[in-house]
Amino acid sequence: MAMIKSGGTKSTYSKKESATTTHAVKEKVGMELKKQKQRKKQGKKAMSRRRTFEWLKELHANHLDDDDDEEEALLS
């Protein structure tokens, strides 16, 4: 009977250890997914900022061209 109890205790310990390990693995995977989503979000923000910058630069260039055309029309 003593062997059964020690065997039962050992398997309970084993189950607790595997549950802790499983939880740790799930937590690590969750953290990696969270970091991955954060990096993706930062990348999207950076791309959006870049597009906005390019759009403003183009808008400014077009505005300068329009001003030159208006000045030429006024001088003519």
Cα 71 to chain centroid distance, Å, stands at 49
In this structure, of 30-39, 43-52, 67-76, the range with the lowest mean pLDDT score is: 67-76
For the chain, what are the domain ranges? 47-75
Average pLDDT of span 6-35: 78
Token pair of 14 as six digits: 């084993």
pTM of the model: 0.50
pLDDT of residue 60 exceeding 70, the answer is yes
Coil, helix or strand at residue 24: helix
d(CA 57, CA 50): 10
